[in-house]
């Protein structure tokens, strides 16, 4: 166990600046979720988060280890010819059109312009926020955990709890820290009332297969069978309070959730 009592809390500099800059969002933008029908829909967390992660040769099989986390369902996708990134950027656009407040954690250089003032955090190839680097001599940062991308997820978590957005999209880096980032959110989702949907891409660009997972309140611990990317996206829409029952949009992975009482 690491004792952080003598360390800088990771991301405090970044959190302080962003909290100051975006404090107005809590009152000016708020969490103005579009009402959704809850009839026969599973109970989920108040906030929906989607994490994209590049796959590698060590974690691209059916994620049996992932289901060791409580309230987590996961499985390998069926082969398909859909671009996952394009598919889920379309979901983000739908969320924007529906008036959802979003936090987007995107690779450096990427941005998103929508109908309201969403918070966009850019990260470098190591998964570290690039907004502000403290003006401190390097020796003072040696034991600060400033350059630990997994620890710095705590910064993003605190922003989520402070701003209470409707939806978060995070694209994890290709630097090998993606598994640790996924583990962080699997461990912190349910207790913070967040439903996390994880997409891990195939190893090879010419393979349209990877694996996905859901974790949070109302999710049954199990391996999912027969899930494809369109169904995964439909599940994300359902969790996020978006229109999901549209022909051609796929079917939600309802087997991931505990049966609705009275269904």
d(CA 17, CA 30): 19
108 neighbors 120 (Cβ within 8 angstroms): no
Beta strand 167-171 with 194-200 is: unpaired
List, in order of start, the domains of the chain with CATH numbers.
Answer: 43-256 (3.40.720.10)
Confidence of residue 32 (pLDDT cuts 50, 70, 90): very low
If you ran DSSP here, which 8-state letter would residue 241 be given? T
C-alpha pair distances (Å), 168 with each of 90, 97, 147:
14, 15, 22
Confidence of residue 174 (pLDDT cuts 50, 70, 90): low
173 neighbors 107 (Cβ within 8 angstroms): yes
49 neighbors 194 (Cβ within 8 angstroms): yes
pLDDT reported for residue 68? 78
List, in sequence order, the alpha helices (H) in 29-83: none
Could you read off the pLDDT of 89-142 as tens digits, one per residue? 888 899 999 999 888 888 887 777 777 778 888 877 777 766 544 455 555 555
d(CA 155, CA 159): 6
Confidence of residue 35 (pLDDT cuts 50, 70, 90): very low
Closest to 105 (Cα-Cα) out of 92, 124, 122, 90: 122
Confidence check: pLDDT of 194 > 50: yes
57 phi/psi in degrees, rounded to 5: -65, -15
Confidence check: pLDDT of 55 > 60: yes
pLDDT reported for residue 56? 62
- Contacting residues for 224 by C-beta, under 8 A, at least 6 apart: 73, 74, 75, 212, 253, 255, 256
d(CA 237, CA 61): 25
Residues in the chain: 263
Give me the mean pLDDT over the 208-230 stretch: 87
pTM over 0.95: no
pLDDT reported for residue 219? 92
């Amino acid at each position: 166990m690491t004792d952080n009592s003598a360390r800088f809390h990771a991301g405090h500099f970044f959190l302080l600046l962003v909290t100051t800059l975006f404090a107005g969002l809590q009152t000016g933008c708020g969490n103005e979720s579009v009402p959704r029908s809850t009839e026969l829909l599973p109970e989920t967390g108040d906030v929906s988060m989607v994490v994209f992660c590049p796959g590698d040769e060590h974690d691209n099989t059916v994620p049996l280890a992932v289901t060791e986390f409580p309230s987590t369902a996961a499985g390998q996708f069926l082969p398909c010819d859909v671009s996952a990134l394009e598919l889920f950027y379309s979901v983000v656009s739908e969320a924007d059109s529906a008036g959802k407040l979003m936090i987007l954690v995107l690779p450096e250089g990427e941005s998103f312009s929508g109908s309201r003032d969403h918070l966009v955090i850019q990260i470098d190839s190591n998964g570290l926020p690039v907004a502000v680097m403290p003006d401190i001599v390097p020796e003072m940062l040696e034991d600060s955990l400033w350059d630990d991308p997994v620890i710095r997820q705590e910064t993003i978590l605190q922003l989520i709890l402070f701003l209470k957005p409707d939806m978060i999209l995070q694209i994890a880096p290709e630097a090998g820290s993606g598994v640790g980032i996924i583990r962080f959110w699997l461990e912190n989702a349910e207790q913070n009332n967040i439903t996390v949907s994880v997409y891990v891409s195939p190893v090879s660009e010419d393979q349209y297969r990877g694996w996905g997972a859901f974790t949070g309140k109302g999710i049954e611990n199990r391996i999912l069978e027969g899930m494809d990317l369109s169904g995964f996206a439909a599940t994300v829409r359902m969790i996020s309070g978006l229109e999901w029952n549209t022909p051609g949009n796929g079917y939600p992975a309802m087997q991931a959730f505990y049966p609705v009482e009275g269904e």
